């Protein structure tokens, strides 16, 4: 079983749509959680951290369910510029700030 699993997609949605991505992680000792964004043929960049209480940054909302070992990312009012691959990322306790990446979910926002 992969440490971090994501639905690879692709998700093709029209502009203005709301889209949600899910991610599960296998190690219950996981400590910190993030969503990174990776544009085609570019490097990954931090989109947002995920906190137990849930957090929002503009059109983006991240949720964490530790009991189910599940993380989600919701994008509201999708823009063309949101087209990218979204990587779910987990850090384990005591792993010296090493990040374990999921394989990513590809999103294409259509005009």
- Rule CB under 8 A: which residues touch another protein? 4, 8, 32, 34, 42-46, 49, 87, 89, 91, 95-104
Place of tokens 């906190």: 51
Name beta bridge partners: 57.
60
Tokens of 8: 């690879």
Least distance from another protein to the Cβ atom of residue 16, Å:
29
Tell me the β-bridge partners of 36: 46, 87
Q: Which is nearer to another protein, 60 or 101 (CB)?
A: 101
Residue 19 or 48: the one with the smaller Cβ distance to another protein is 48
Of 46 and 110, nearer to another protein (C-beta) is: 46
Q: Give the CA-trace dihedral at 32, 24, 13, 87, to 10 degrees.
A: 40
Minimum distance from residue 98 beta carbon to another protein (Å): 6
């Amino acid at each position: 079983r992969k440490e971090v699993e994501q639905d690879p997609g692709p998700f093709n949605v029209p502009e203005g749509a709301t889209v949600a991505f899910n991610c599960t992680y296998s190690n219950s000792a996981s400590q910190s959680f993030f969503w990174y964004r990776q544009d085609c043929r570019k490097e990954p960049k931090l989109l947002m951290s995920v906190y137990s209480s849930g957090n929002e940054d503009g059109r983006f909302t991240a949720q964490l369910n530790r009991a189910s070992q599940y993380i989600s990312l919701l994008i509201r009012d999708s823009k063309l510029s949101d087209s990218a691959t979204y990587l779910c990322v987990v850090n384990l306790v005591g792993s010296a700030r090493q990040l374990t990446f999921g394989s990513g979910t590809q999103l294409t926002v259509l005009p």
